[in-house]
Amino acid sequence: MLERWLDARAADDVRTAWTALAPTRHEFSTRDRTLTMYGAARLAEAMLGKRPDWITNVYSRPTVFQSRGDVEAVFLENAWDVNQYVNESWDVYEERDGAHGVQVVMVGVGSASGQPDGSSETVVRIFDSDRAASMRIGSNIVSTIGTVDLAPLDLLRFSHSHPRPNGVVVHAPLLAMLGYGGGLPWGYELDVSGSSIYGQLPNADIERIIAALPNIERVATEVAIAAQAKAIEDTKQAAISMANSPVPAWDWKGEGTFNPHFDATPSEEGIAYGCDTNGPFGGYDRVGAQTWDEFLAAGAPERVQMPPGIAAQIRAYALGRTVPRTP
């Protein structure tokens, strides 16, 4: 039964095959939050055990069927039901393994004569033996045959407008509020342009964004305070770790004619710098020293060419040297 539907192209054939399957129609979320290719890929992964990332860049694959021409009717489930003379185009992309697979169907409908006019709709079909799902991308409509858990579809395209008070930077605070400060998961998207906030996210995240926007100044402040507190705690923990570790020594390569190689050795009073060079007058020499207060106030002397990463490590050590060591 599924094969007849998947292989049908003419309007009457598609309609008959689709009706025979007795599909159940669902409205997923609200009309202003629409289904995406990424959500469809996640549903396919849940149903088939493999995520078809190719559907998010469908034009990278060749079609398995393509046609253009004038017809008397067009039918595509959840998308087209036209009963008049029109121009029709079909592009079908597919990955099928027997009774399992994914099919992306793009059907365009336009005027057959006169002023050119028309549009195109995309339907993703996921099929697995005796069950299937068909969803129109860019809508909230999905139909199922058999038992299908639609929860993985919850990666929805949305757009929301809200004026930004006092020029508050919205993007980073919203990401942090949602717990995505380290980066968005696959398929997730959040963009801000002027007063428009848009992207594709789970419905719960969209609701949190809309609820936060009226108080976005407070949210931004809270996020900034939390980030500052985390940075302070991270520095404190790094200092404790350094203070409780064996006395470290740092070394790094510098730039110069004789390939200088610098090092830094800490003591109770401060830090001493050495330099090893090649060449006719090469060798190892002490090239300076600082108290801890001098290092914390001004950093290392320029002549030792200390990299920022090592400077940060030494600063953490310097701050932590008064932290009691763990017995």
Give pLDDT, residue 324. Answer: 45
* Close Cβ partners of 194 (under 8 Å, ≥ 6 residues apart): none
pTM: 0.68
Residue spans of the domains in the chain: they are: 2-149, 158-233, 244-320
Give the Cα separation of 17 and 3 in Å (integer).
9
Give the model confidence (pLDDT) of 188-208 as tens digits.
999 988 788 999 999 999 999
Residue 84 has pLDDT above 70, yes or no: yes
Q: What is the pLDDT, as a whole number, of residue 325?
A: 44
DSSP state of 64: S
Whether the pLDDT of residue 317 is over 90: the answer is no
Mean pLDDT of 105-131: 90
When comparing pLDDT for 112 and 122, which is higher? 122
User: Cα separation of 79 and 76, whole Å?
Assistant: 5
Which secondary structure element, helix H or strand E, spans residue 27, and what is its range? strand 24-27
d(CA 132, CA 123): 13
Burial class of residue 63 (count of CB atoms within 10 Å of its CB; 0-12, 13-18, 19+): middle
The percent of residues above 90 in pLDDT, for the chain, comes to 61
Beta bridge partners of 65: 92
Maximum alpha-carbon separation in the chain: 93
d(CA 190, CA 175): 8
Q: Contacts from 284-292 at CB under 8 Å and sequence distance 24+?
A: 287/262, 292/318, 292/321
Question: 163 is written with which tokens?
Answer: 């004026």
Q: What dihedral do alpha carbons 3, 6, 10, 15 form, nearest 10°?
A: 90
Q: What is the mean pLDDT of residues 31-57?
A: 96
Q: Is residue 121 predicted with pLDDT exceeding 90?
A: yes
Structure confidence by residue, pLDDT tens digits, 151-168: 999 999 999 987 765 556
Place of tokens 């520095």: 235
Distance of alpha carbon 121 from alpha carbon 67, whole angstroms: 15
Mean pLDDT taken over the chain: 88
Q: What is the pLDDT of residues 233-270, one digit of tens each?
A: 877 777 666 666 666 689 999 988 788 899 999 988 89
Higher pLDDT, 125 or 317: 125
